[in-house]
A and B are shown apart, each in its own frame.
Chain A
Amino acid sequence: MNVEIADVTRRFGRTEAVAGVSLETGPGVFGLLGPNGAGKTTLLRMVATVVPPSSGGLRLLGRDPASYAGRREIRRRLGYLPQNLGYYSGFTVTEFVEYFALLKEMPAGQVPRAVAAAVERVDLGAKARAKLRTLSGGMLRRVGIAQAIVNDPELLLLDEPTAGLDPEQRMMFRALLRDFGQRATVVVSTHLVEDVGAACSEVALMDQGRIVFHGTPGDLVARGQESGAAGDAPLERGYSAVLAAVRSGVAARS
């Protein structure tokens, strides 16, 4: 298993953003769904080793991120696209991706080729020398994806990766995800259930800091069909059905 999460919690003051999540996943594309404030981003930040869990344990790529040596080794093999992509506006596309390749401790000799390949894979070859401040929101998102994949990561974490992408780019991006999923673990946090349906082999649904569903996209579709929940697409109906069931259960308990 590339990602092993055991009863992990994360608190920010009195707020419990992640409340006892346990997950295991191996190579493939893993979709993380959930409403706003469900805890998806916090869970992803913990897996990205950006914030430590308040309790519980993580094991990533067979290493313990609690130790510095383990964390550093994980980070060398990690690609991470945060939800709010920051960028240095004066950098060119190539410089930005190269900068992160160097921060990821890629061997210096391999950096130029890897940067060029990553930029091409997100279809920004023509804009390689453009300053980031001149790019559209969708292009910036692709730059973010390029920096995440430049080191050919074994664990790729993408938080809302398709936000701002046009339909054509989203289709190409899903193909990219499927390609990475053949040899790496890709965790995609998204609101867009069609991304999950098109690219993910496994999906989890979070609500109020907990995993309330874990299975395949087919399982989620089945839950929707069973409940007859509202929605325009099968996965949306499954999504709504699971959340409705959880919330009615909570209401019943309260």
Chain B
Amino acid sequence: MTAATAAPVRHAPGGARAVPLTAARLLRIELRRNAMPWILPLIAVLFWFDSYRPSTSQPPFWILRTFWNMGQGHTIIDFGPFVAGVAAWMGSRDGRRGMADMVTGTARPRWVAQLATWGATAIWAVVAYLAFVGIMFAVYAHQGLLGSPPWWWVAVGAAAVTTFSAAGFALGVCFPSRFAAALAAFGGFLLMMLSSQTGFSHTSGWAQILPTNSNGNFQLDSGVLYPYLPDLPIARIMFFAGLTVATVGLLGLPARAGGPWLRRTAAVIAVAGLAAAGTAVGLADTARLSARGMDISALHDAASDRPTPYTPVCDHAAGVPVCLNPAYRRWLPDVTAALRPVLTESAGLPGAPTRTTQIGATYSSGDGAVPGPGLTLSGRPPVLGIPLGALNLPGAFGSTAAELTQQLQVLFVHAFVIPGAGSGTPGQLAVQAALLQGAGIPLKAQPSALTDYGLPSWARATQHALTNGRQSANGVGPVTGPVYAAAQRLTGLPPVSLHAWLAAHLTALRAGQITLAQLP
């Protein structure tokens, strides 16, 4: 130690320009000495095994791959608890290290110093989150995924990670114990589990605000036929930003945090944050499922509803053009082959489609069923609309080409014979069964075919009619009863005779005016 006199240092606080410089220096030190980088290898391993790897079994669509890891909140679950734990470790640092007196006896408000520590922690966490997701997206892009990436989900994840860091840090500040980190991590994990469970059971209402509630996220053709609807992500970002701001504001309330003016500011910030989070919950409560996703009228921008323009790819092998979005090109032969028998049967009949096109699929949150009739027949001349994204695409979720064929044929014949969303009259059901047998699904196999995953609720009523309400041990009863008997009569007719009868009576049949007794 030397007694040499150092150059005197002026104590006057710096000017306005000095404040950012000081903040930058504090932040630089905190960034260099933050504990967050130590946990990143563990998160990386978890991210690989929990978020990325399972997603690769999904078909090569951005929406399907990222729904697994982002739509259901896996990336947030992988990050959140660890981020909360490390943030609690950083927040409890002064208490654990016996630094309370030293830092309290300095001029800079304690709140400001805490903000620098938290800021560095949050920056590490968010940058790591964005880097991990960015690498995953780069790999997806390299794999040639179809559609576009869900950037809104990335923003929600980043906001959630920030909130976890703020909550963990606040816990560490309030309970400066070595156990604070473990407590925060466990609490974060528990919250995520509760959030997931609530998400499973709440398909609408306030619970849509929870980041792991996948019901509001899964819109099958987002990023392909239309943009990702940003309404719910905006509400979620608002929710997390509000919680973060409120938590940070609460840290500034204790007397040791700073002066009266600063504490009043902190109180205002905390109230504003809580108000924002509350407003976001209220907005989520108004969310309604639309054809393109969760629609929150207060946040909705009509521009988000515009379909994404594309040049379709078509196949003429079925007699009428079958056209799909180029993203679904690989399934065009399967779709054409599946539709060819039923399009051949319907050719020349009133209302037969002259063209087949792809329409956006909608997901009815919770029950996994395709709402309404599934396939649509509309316009003059009639055009068949296929919500292909909602069907059992070969390779997706373990589905096979045979399942897609069966599903397409069931949906087409139903749409062709029975207008609207109803299950149909006995006469309509008998004709439907006969046409399906003509397309290649034997009568005896139809009750089983009608249990295919993804079929609308009318399929159960149709199965009930074909089996006359009888059930077997596996739930699918044998064909029997008057509808089956009438269908058998129809299938016994020569195809030309059946076609001629349909040409004469199909309009009346669709109107529900043909009874079982009137069938040939």
Is the pair A69, B259 in contact by a Cβ cutoff of 8 Å?
Answer: yes
Q: When chains A and B are docked, how far (Å) is the Cα of A48 from the Cα of B107?
A: 11
Query: Given that A86-B99, A103-B113 are known contacts, is A108 also in contact with B14, CB under 8 Å in the complex?
Result: yes
In whole Å, how far is B13's beta carbon from the nearest beta carbon of chain A?
5
Is the pair B21, A88 in contact by a Cβ cutoff of 8 Å?
Answer: no
Is the pair B10, A48 in contact by a Cβ cutoff of 8 Å?
Answer: no
Map CB proximity to B onto A45-88 as digits: 1 under 8 Å, 0 otherwise: 10011100000000000000000110011011110101011111
Which has the most chain A C-beta neighbours within 10 Å: B2, B103, B113?
B2
Partner of A68, one of B10, B11, B259: B259
Q: When chains A and B are docked, how far (Å) is the Cα of A116 from the Cα of B103?
A: 21
Partner of A72, one of B10, B25, B102, B259: B259
Chain A residues positioned under 8 Å from B8 (CB to CB): 152
Q: When chains A and B are docked, how far (Å) is the Cα of A84 from the Cα of B8?
A: 28
Is the pair A95, B32 in contact by a Cβ cutoff of 8 Å?
Answer: yes
Which has the most chain A C-beta neighbours within 10 Å: B94, B108, B260?
B108
Is the pair B2, A90 in contact by a Cβ cutoff of 8 Å?
Answer: no
Q: When chains A and B are docked, how far (Å) is the Cα of A153 from the Cα of B3?
A: 15
Partner of A121, one of B4, B97, B108: B4
Chain A residues positioned under 8 Å from B398 (CB to CB): none
Partner of A98, one of B7, B25, B104: B25
In whole Å, how far is A224's beta carbon from the nearest beta carbon of chain B?
29
Q: When chains A and B are docked, how far (Å) is the Cα of A155 from the Cα of B258?
A: 21
Chain B residues positioned under 8 Å from A201 (CB to CB): none
Map CB proximity to A onto B1-23 as digits: 1 under 8 Å, 0 otherwise: 11111111111111000100110
Partner of A106, one of B2, B11, B33: B11
* CB within 8 Å of B: which A204-237 residues: none
Is the pair B3, A176 in contact by a Cβ cutoff of 8 Å?
Answer: yes
Q: When chains A and B are docked, how far (Å) is the Cα of A76 from the Cα of B105?
A: 9
Is A113 close to B, CB under 8 A?
yes
Q: When chains A and B are docked, how far (Å) is the Cα of A80 from the Cα of B99?
A: 12
Query: Given that A77-B11, A117-B6 are known contacts, is A88 also in contact with B107, CB under 8 Å in the complex?
Result: no
Chain B residues positioned under 8 Å from A114 (CB to CB): 6-7, 9
Is the pair A68, B260 in contact by a Cβ cutoff of 8 Å?
Answer: yes
Map CB proximity to A onto B217-261 as digits: 1 under 8 Å, 0 otherwise: 000000000000000000000000000000000000000001110
Is B74 close to A, CB under 8 A?
no
Chain B residues positioned under 8 Å from A121 (CB to CB): 1-2, 4, 6
In whole Å, how far is A92's beta carbon from the nearest beta carbon of chain B?
9
Is B327 close to A, CB under 8 A?
no
* CB within 8 Å of B: which A88-126 residues: 88-91, 95, 98-100, 102-111, 113-114, 117-118, 120-123
Chain B residues positioned under 8 Å from A77 (CB to CB): 11
Q: When chains A and B are docked, how far (Å) is the Cα of A78 from the Cα of B29?
A: 22
Which has the most chain A C-beta neighbours within 10 Å: B1, B21, B259?
B1
Is A191 close to B, CB under 8 A?
no
Which has the most chain A C-beta neighbours within 10 Å: B4, B12, B33, B113?
B33
Which has the most chain A C-beta neighbours within 10 Å: B3, B11, B33, B97?
B11
Is B318 close to A, CB under 8 A?
no
Q: When chains A and B are docked, how far (Å) is the Cα of A102 from the Cα of B22?
A: 6
Map CB proximity to A onto B72-84 as digits: 1 under 8 Å, 0 otherwise: 0000000000000
In whole Å, how far is B425's beta carbon from the nearest beta carbon of chain A?
77
Taking chain B's interface residues, is the majority helix, strand, or loop, or is none over half, making it mixed?
A: loop
Is A24 close to B, CB under 8 A?
no
Q: When chains A and B are docked, how far (Å) is the Cα of A105 from the Cα of B327?
A: 59
Is the pair B101, A76 in contact by a Cβ cutoff of 8 Å?
Answer: no
Map CB proximity to B onto A143-164 as digits: 1 under 8 Å, 0 otherwise: 0010100111000000000000
Is B518 close to A, CB under 8 A?
no
In whole Å, how far is B121's beta carbon from the nearest beta carbon of chain A?
14
Is the pair B7, A76 in contact by a Cβ cutoff of 8 Å?
Answer: no
In whole Å, how far is A28's beta carbon from the nearest beta carbon of chain B?
15
Map CB proximity to A onto B100-131 as digits: 1 under 8 Å, 0 otherwise: 11111111100001000000000000000000
Is the pair B99, A87 in contact by a Cβ cutoff of 8 Å?
Answer: yes
Map CB proximity to B onto A121-138 as digits: 1 under 8 Å, 0 otherwise: 111000000000000000
Can you offer 24 A-B residue contacts whose CB atoms are under 8 A?
A: A48-B105, A68-B259, A73-B107, A75-B105, A76-B107, A78-B105, A80-B102, A88-B99, A95-B33, A98-B29, A102-B29, A103-B108, A105-B106, A105-B108, A106-B9, A107-B13, A107-B14, A108-B25, A109-B21, A121-B4, A150-B9, A151-B9, A152-B8, A176-B1
Q: Which 5 A-B pairs have the closest CB atoms?
A: A86-B98, A172-B1, A103-B106, A86-B99, A179-B3
Using a CB–CB cutoff of 8 Å, the interface residues on chain B facing chain A are 1-14, 18, 21-22, 25-26, 29, 32-33, 35, 93-94, 97-108, 113, 258-260
Other than A87-B97, A121-B4, A179-B4, give 15 A-B pairs with Cβ distance below 8 A: A68-B258, A82-B101, A86-B98, A95-B29, A103-B108, A104-B106, A104-B108, A105-B13, A108-B25, A109-B18, A110-B9, A113-B7, A120-B2, A150-B9, A152-B6
